[in-house]
A and B are shown apart, each in its own frame.
Chain A
């Protein structure tokens, strides 16, 4: 390489300057070009601040994705390309846009984040993987496509997990948790607290409030699943609870969080015994919810339920 540089530098007078001599190295040139192109690439690769409004009732020909605005271009990228960093799932193809056919399952935590930890050494991040596997089997037996936000001991960010759900059409999102507290052997379903209504003239849904147009559907799904869980696990509430769950806020789909009590049980088997019942309740709940599934748009006002935010 040095020889090559010397050879070139003899021919190009400017390269007699020692500081500029490195410019002749093809690798350096490639690096400089990459650095110059980085802002452009970042524009397309960074998480979008908007989710494409899911007004699927309009024919496709009436909503062409224009590329004159960066926001629209980014939104179109979100719509057409599922995130490349999720090689784990069989992303559904050839699906009907306005029919519920996909379930995104999110085993919470993972990687460096173990979640709730019990005195008996039970880690939430491990138990939820087992629960998710059983829920997946139950859903697949009902004919749903299933996408998982993680398969192993890794910890995608909240936004990465939401991005996997937001890239789907005709999907619901279920995040699975094990609590630290609460009556062991019970299960609670949460939906996100009320979010401010979206008044975006572009029709796009802001990423930070992606759940807003779906709150009504989330409540319906949550009530169905909670009702089934309360039949199986005595002591569980009858209706869905609301909480400011971070994972749900950026998810542009009917979304619920299922939290099972708790890591404080003496033996892991006590929790594992609950998995088939939880899986069955979620799968049957989503089957019951399926006819109610309609595509929400940014203009859909959230239901008037008093809570936070």
Chain B
């Protein structure tokens, strides 16, 4: 005859299996839902960042110079003037112009920044240092090379210089971190000086 304690153990194990079988489908649903929520949040955050947010119809439309690659020489920049409703606040304005720059020109071959890159945040320090925090795609999708990396950084710097005179120098972060180089060549440990831009009053 089976000892009594063995019966109890077998009964406990059997009941654990039954409970697990009942609980497992609901656990699986929980995990699926949690993953879905995370995806939605990331996508939503990205859309909020990349859309021309923060601009309202109340703000006056201002001629904005955006620096994209030149038709004639794909390693040079050329300014393209577009009218955008820009904020008077330098931080909001910097976000607006950089998001428009990231959105790219009509001719996608003249892009200077990868289409999947996003501006995560922009800060302006009291000394005029602008800190632009980009998503990792800026580092991973920019073509590796001194010329191509310089073109990307120059387009950001020249665009800020032309439209946000309060920014005196530029620091680029990737996903909130200081990195050694953009894509293996261009030094991002320092700051890029912006020459005094002609003041653009709204």
Contact = CB atoms under 8 A, between A and B. Distances in A.
Contact of A180 (B145, B150, B187): B145
Interface of A: 108-109, 113, 115-117, 124, 158, 177-183, 188, 190, 208, 243-247, 249, 257, 259, 261-262, 306-309
Given A116-B143, A179-B146, A246 B192 contact: no
27 contacts: A113-B184, A115-B184, A116-B145, A124-B144, A177-B146, A177-B185, A180-B143, A180-B144, A180-B145, A181-B74, A181-B75, A181-B148, A182-B147, A188-B146, A188-B147, A243-B146, A243-B186, A244-B150, A245-B146, A245-B185, A245-B187, A246-B181, A246-B186, A246-B187, A259-B147, A307-B193, A308-B157
Contacts of B44: none
Contacts of B74: 181-182
A124 B145 CA distance: 10
Contacts of B150: 243-244
B146 A257 contact: yes
A181 B190 contact: no
B191 interface: yes
Given A257-B146, A259-B146, A309 B190 contact: yes
A245 B144 CA distance: 12
Given A179-B146, A181-B74, A246-B187, 12 more contacts: A109-B184, A115-B144, A177-B146, A179-B147, A179-B148, A181-B145, A182-B145, A243-B146, A244-B190, A245-B186, A246-B185, A309-B193
B191 A116 contact: no
Contacts of B186: 243-246
B75 to A, nearest CB: 5
B191 A309 contact: yes
How big is chain B's contact interface, by range? 20 to 34
Nearest to A190: B146
A246 B148 contact: no
Nearest to B181: A246
B195 interface: yes
A270 B189 CA distance: 35
A47 to B, nearest CB: 14
B178 interface: no
Interface of B: 74-75, 143-148, 150-151, 153, 157, 180-181, 184-187, 189-193, 195
Contacts, number: 79
Nearest to B145: A179
B161 to A, nearest CB: 12
Contacts of B189: 208, 246
A178 B148 CA distance: 11
A181 B110 CA distance: 12
A158 to B, nearest CB: 7
A182 B144 contact: no
A181 B192 contact: no
A182 B195 contact: no
Contact of B180 (A108, A246, A307): A246
A143 to B, nearest CB: 30
Contacts of A307: 193
10 tightest CB-CB pairs across the interface, nearest first?
A180-B143, A179-B145, A246-B187, A244-B187, A180-B145, A116-B144, A181-B148, A308-B192, A243-B150, A309-B190
A209 B141 CA distance: 29
A249 B157 CA distance: 20
A188 B75 CA distance: 11
A244 B185 CA distance: 8
Contacts of A180: 143-145, 148
Nearest to A208: B189
Contacts of A179: 145-148
A246 B192 CA distance: 13
B74, B147, B157 pick with most chain A CB within 10 angstroms: B147
Contacts of A117: 144
Nearest to B73: A183
A154 B46 CA distance: 37
